[in-house]
A and B are shown apart, each in its own frame.
Chain A
Amino acid sequence: MNSLSTYLRKETIRLNISCQSWEEAVRAVGELLCQNGIVESSYIDAMVNNVKKFGPYIVLLPGFALAHARCEDGAKKVGMSLVTLKEPVKFGHEDNDPVSVVVGLASTADEKHVQFLAEICDVIKDEEKLKKVMLSSDIDEVISIFTTQ
């Protein structure tokens, strides 16, 4: 078990959702964070504005976007959410489009999330694991892929 097992919970995961745009996908992970008391609703807008302002730099790895904003934009505690997309969505990133997995991230100012961020990326970089996550319709399976390392 790794630190992800603390933060990756059934309530904050949705699989195979349909999103028509990158903004919808970012709002989807934002809503999950908000519904679970991890962020204020203002944080969701901030996550979207982050991309509108700076471009799709949040598409960190092929097929994967890390939606987030600054702590002061409405993060209440450290947490994350995850969605997989039924159809991949373009964010406009030069190299890493289209996106199939989006993680929403919120943290406090002291980089408490550094460990589980690294663990998320370790899975996403692994092509086989990423594919399993993208194709899965079983939340327990997805949790298991991320927390067994």
Chain B
Amino acid sequence: MEKPEMINAACICGCGMGSSLLLKMLLIGILDEKGVNYEVECGDSGNVPDGINLIVTSSAFYDGLKEQYGDKIPVVMVKDFYGREELIQKLEEIGYL
């Protein structure tokens, strides 16, 4: 995967304001530290925004999102909402960090 100029991410869960918000905080913390430009939104699984180049979600939503978007947009799963190392590793794996 080519590293984008700017990460335009959607953090997705069931309602777009609970666990997705924790994912957003986790992601932003990492991207701030790494000096990466970004825009990060939260959404629910029925309302994934357009124009994004990354989806971050938890295990409950991963399979569905991967199936729907996975061939065009990298979908990253986070098990632990405070798992910095986990998310850093997964972002590195897709070449975004």
Which size bracket describes the interface of A in this complex? 20 to 34
A121 at the interface (CB under 8 A from B): yes
A-B pairs under 8 A by CB, number: 57
A57 x B44 contact (CB < 8 A): no
Whether, in the assembled complex, B60 has its beta carbon less than 8 Å from a beta carbon of chain A, the answer is yes
Stretch binding the partner chain, chosen from A4-12, A17-25, A64-72, A139-147? A64-72
Is the pair A54, B14 in contact by a Cβ cutoff of 8 Å? yes
Size category, B interface: 20 to 34
Verify if B25 is at the interface (C-beta below 8 Å from A): yes
What does the 1/0 interface line of B16-50 toward A look like (CB < 8 Å)? 11110110010000000000000000101100000
The answer to the question of A16 belonging to the interface, with a C-beta cut-off of 8 Å to chain B, is no
The reply on B10 being an interface residue by CB < 8 A is no
Cβ of A15 within 8 Å of any chain B Cβ, yes or no, is no
In whole angstroms, how far apart are the Cα atoms of A117 and B23 in the complex? Answer: 12
B60 touches A54 (CB 8 A): yes
B94 within 8 A of A: no
Nearest 6 Cβ contacts at the A-B interface: A57-B60, A54-B14, A70-B15, A68-B18, A55-B60, A50-B14
Q: A58-B19, A61-B81, A66-B19 are in contact. List 18 more A-B contacts (CB 8 A).
A: A54-B14, A57-B14, A57-B60, A58-B14, A60-B18, A60-B19, A68-B17, A68-B18, A70-B16, A70-B17, A71-B17, A105-B18, A111-B21, A113-B21, A114-B21, A118-B22, A118-B25, A121-B22
